[in-house]
């Protein structure tokens, strides 16, 4: 028997409590890759504002009434020397641990890609820590390629 398919939909304000939990799980997972993160509690995003913003897309995957994954796309202004003026930036890519490896992230990326292309944003980017090999592999599976490495001095 096939496993049920998650439903992808736009996030609503009613989803905010679980999305805030997802954000903290994401921060906890990324903390080992970034010694420059401030002490908890920290927040990466203004999720509420993104949900309310017509120029942003916050997508959730829901299975049996439970939100199991998330992601967002926002337009960003490109650097003046690039061939495109704007691009779609993807972030908040989180899948609950019980549902990883099921292709849910791929479905969310595809949904955000369609949203971006519908707005004329043909360049789509995201950032990932260079040591986060599982995330890099997941993004490569959906077509992302390494582009640039940001470096820092300690």
For 28-61, the pLDDT digits (tens) are: 999 999 999 999 999 999 999 999 999 999 999 9
Helices 104-118 and 133-141 cross at an angle (nearest 10°) of 60
* Number of Cβ atoms within 10 Å of the Cβ of 92: 23
- pLDDT above 70 as % of the chain: 98
pLDDT of 4 reads 81
Closest CA relative to residue 27, chosen from 13, 6, 47, 12:
47
pLDDT of 2 reads 62
Tokens 């994401």, residue located: 26
Beta bridge partners of 58: 72
Beta bridge partners of 89: 74, 125
74 has a pLDDT exceeding 80:
yes
1 has a pLDDT exceeding 80:
no
Beta strand residue intervals within 18-122, DSSP E: 57-63, 66-77, 86-95
């Amino acid at each position: 028997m096939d496993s049920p398919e998650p439903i992808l939909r736009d996030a609503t304000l009613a989803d905010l409590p679980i999305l805030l939990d997802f954000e903290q799980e994401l921060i906890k997972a990324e903390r080992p890759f970034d010694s420059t993160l401030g002490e908890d509690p920290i927040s990466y995003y203004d999720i509420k504002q993104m949900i309310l913003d017509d120029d942003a897309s916050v997508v959730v995957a829901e299975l049996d009434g439970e939100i199991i994954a998330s992601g967002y796309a926002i337009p960003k202004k490109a650097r003046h020397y690039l061939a495109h003026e704007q691009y779609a930036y993807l972030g908040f890519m989180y899948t609950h641990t019980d549902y990883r490896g099921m292709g849910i992230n791929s479905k969310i990326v595809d949904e955000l890609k369609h949203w971006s292309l519908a707005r004329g944003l043909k360049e789509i980017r995201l950032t990932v820590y260079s040591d986060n090999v599982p995330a890099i592999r997941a993004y490569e599976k959906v077509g992302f390629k390494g582009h640039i490495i940001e470096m820092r001095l300690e």
